[in-house]
Chain A
Amino acid sequence: MLEKLKPYLFLAPAIVLLLVFTVIPMVYTLYLSFFDWNMISPTKEFVGLDNYINILTNDTTKKVIFNTFFYIVVLILFNCVITYIFAFIIGYVVKRFKGFYKVAFFIPSVISLVVGSILFTWILNPISGPVAIIGEMFGFSIPNWSKTDGLVIIVLSLIVSWKVFGYNFIVLYASVVGVSKEIIEAARLDNISNLRIFIDIVLPMSSATGFYILILTIVQGLQYVFTPIKVITQGGPNYGSSNLIYQAYHEAFVVYKTGQSAALAMITLLIFVILLLLEFLFVERRIYYENS
């Protein structure tokens, strides 16, 4: 009997905490998304689906959703693909200084993004920053990245990647070197190229961790970008750097459209859940778990 209760007992702390501090607030937000309200006025006006219709027919939202996917692509490239390759290189290709690399790569991870954002505002200042000065010596100039569509997203993603790289690297590295040495040595003897070893052996055998990093990159990455957006661009130029997370914040706390913000948050959630489902369906099934 007790044995039957045990799983519930073990789940209880996590479920209760998440219920109280995450799920119930979310339900409340769902409720708010059907009202026109500014969070403090005593009256809420029920508007049905108006907030959703408003958002979905709005050019700004389209731009913001596009930006969100742009961020996702750039972040996956920087924080998953490149990191994976580095993990493989340190794990199997280079022979010396591994310890040094492992420590050095991790260092930026401990820095707060507020600090990172301030630092990069100075370092990448197009007219008086060190990069601009060095550029000037070689005769090229730094574009006004904070006011340029597209470029602004890449630079903000770079700031986040700079911070996230080290952690992702350590996790992926551990997983990559966990792949059985014999298999790789055997492949080497067969003169299989590093590229093929990476794609055919290492990648599939470390895919569980890879999947974790992928999810982390998408979800945390988007929330992480929030900080540089807020500190550096406030979503500008003309929403050019805003993503769904920042936009929900903007609606709620800059223009005080609580209902709009709630609806936006719900749409964000929906997009994420769809992504998650797709991943579960197509990726999770093919993930390699030893002994399972």
Chain B
Amino acid sequence: MKKFLLLMSLLVLVLSACAPTSGEEDKKEEAGSGEKTKIEYWHVNAETLGGKTVEKLVADFNAQSDTVEVTAKFNPDMYKGLMQNLQAEAATGNSPAVVQVGWAFLDYFSQNFEYVEPQTVIDKHFPESKTFLEDNFLPNIIDLAKNSEGSQVGIPYSLSTPVLYINKDMLKEAGLDENGPKTWQDVEKFAKQIKEKTGNYGIYIQEPADNWATQAILESNGAKMLDNGKATFASKEGIEAYEMYKKMVVDDKTALHIGWDQGIQGFIDGKVGMMYTTIAQRSNVQNNAKFDVATVKSPAFEGKEVRLPAGGAMLAITAKDEKEQKAAWEFMEYLYSVEGMAEWTKGTGYVPPRKDVAQSENGLKAFLEENEMMNAAIEQMDGVVPWTSFPGNSGLEAEQKLLDIRDEILGGSVDVEEGLKKTEKEINELLGK
């Protein structure tokens, strides 16, 4: 044992002598290039979500900029994980310069963290780009990053919408139209027929720890999650939509009720005919499915228009001093250039929030011709609405309540109407309405 410990400590000594400690390195760099402003950019992009692209964009930017040096920090566990790290960082009085903020955290972020509106920074330091935001973004898209008080907290960056993935081979086998269903009523029929003819599950609707897909279904039937600061999802339309969802899961057993990862595996493995999930899963599905796979636009309810909550994130400027704020925008302007956006879309599978990137030659034209599965998401951009972010200190708790009731309804332990009404009441109490 002594030998073991001795060996260990020796090993440690040798290794620590070889490995440069990062602290020293930092100091050296600072001394070497005093004039470059150093800023941190916090993102959530794992290797499977375009991590490589973040690195490339940052490296390319650093190479062409004489004034700014960006360091990218990866935050595991998506936007929640990033928020958690940001919180710890804020407690120390420091902050990164640019952060990705998930839509669900829009209100929470803007109420609790210091940020500066991008337009303010542009007006002050880059008057020549004054109209950059108006010129390049659709109004319904740029509005996604406005909080409940109307402040433009950031700029939409990663944009995703839910689409319906279909296993064409399985639809054919079940004698169904291989172009997939157009409405939720069709989805219900399709799912039933798939189950009857092939014995497989008809559909999987994503069930992560957020309420995104459920909102898409409810609001597409005309329900509203939030109206004038008051929760209103337990309306006739909301209940009707949830009844349909519950019927597929609990009564017909044509829809799979399972965790997200497992649901995706099931679809790729050819055990589920259709899957309703984010376009960000496109490359995962496209590269790994061995059957003829396609995406179709998010189904509508008959005679109604789809309303699809935007998934993904915006970029917000959290830099405190002016020099860093200026550097932050310089970096962001690079990210939002047509080329930057195209690179981003290719690497991540998100939809570009900026106009004219999709059609542009130096943008995504060739890419979209090659990856037809992207088109469903790009075509439904006009149906995009904000992902409901409940206001006030209890906003995130309210969102949690919606998850709780989803578990109860899909678990079959509660009646839809009763459950939704109860949850709506509880949320309104939380919101003080």
Establish whether A and B are touching in the complex (CB under 8 Å): yes
Decide if B271 touches A40 in the complex (CB within 8 Å): no
Distance in Å: Cβ of B263 to nearest Cβ of chain A: 9
A-B contact count (CB 8 A): 77
Determine the chain A residues whose CB is within 8 A of the CB of B269 once the complex forms.
127-128
Chain B 49-84: CB-based contact to A (< 8 A → 1; otherwise 0): 000000000000000000000000000000010011
Q: In the complex, A128 Cα to B268 Cα: how many Å?
A: 9
User: Which A126-149 residues sit within 8 Å CB-CB of chain B?
Assistant: 126-129, 144, 146-147, 149
Interface residue SS majority, chain A: loop
Range of interface residues on A (Cβ < 8 Å): 20 to 34
Decide if A128 touches B404 in the complex (CB within 8 Å): no
Distance in Å: Cβ of B206 to nearest Cβ of chain A: 14
Contact of B407 among A127, A232, A237 (CB under 8 A): A237
Decide if A253 touches B407 in the complex (CB within 8 Å): no
User: Given that A125-B265, A255-B396, A256-B396 are contacting pairs, would A40 and B258 also be in contact in the complex, using a CB cutoff of 8 Å?
Assistant: no
Determine the chain A residues whose CB is within 8 A of the CB of B257 once the complex forms.
144, 147
In the complex, the chain B residue whose C-beta lies closest to that of A234 is: B209
Contact of B404 among A41, A144, A239 (CB under 8 A): A239
User: Given that A40-B112, A253-B84, A255-B396 are contacting pairs, would A146 and B411 also be in contact in the complex, using a CB cutoff of 8 Å?
Assistant: no
Distance in Å: Cβ of B106 to nearest Cβ of chain A: 14
Decide if B265 touches A122 in the complex (CB within 8 Å): yes
User: Given that A238-B411, A255-B396 are contacting pairs, would A232 and B259 also be in contact in the complex, using a CB cutoff of 8 Å?
Assistant: yes
Decide if B112 touches A38 in the complex (CB within 8 Å): yes
Contact of B271 among A38, A41, A127, A146 (CB under 8 A): A127
In the complex, the chain A residue whose C-beta lies closest to that of B398 is: A255
Residue B305 lies at the interface, judged by CB distance under 8 Å to chain A:
no
Distance in Å: Cβ of A155 to nearest Cβ of chain B: 12
Residue A236 lies at the interface, judged by CB distance under 8 Å to chain B:
yes
Hey, which bits of chain A sit against chain B, CB under 8 A?
38-41, 121-122, 125-129, 144, 146-147, 149, 232-234, 236-240, 253-257
Hey, which bits of chain B sit against chain A, CB under 8 A?
80, 83-84, 87, 90-91, 108, 111-113, 201, 209, 256-259, 261-262, 265-266, 269, 271-272, 393, 396-397, 400, 403-404, 407-408, 410-411
- Besides A40-B90, A122-B265, A127-B256, 9 more A-B contacts (Cβ < 8 Å) are A40-B113, A121-B261, A121-B262, A125-B265, A147-B259, A238-B404, A253-B87, A255-B396, A257-B397
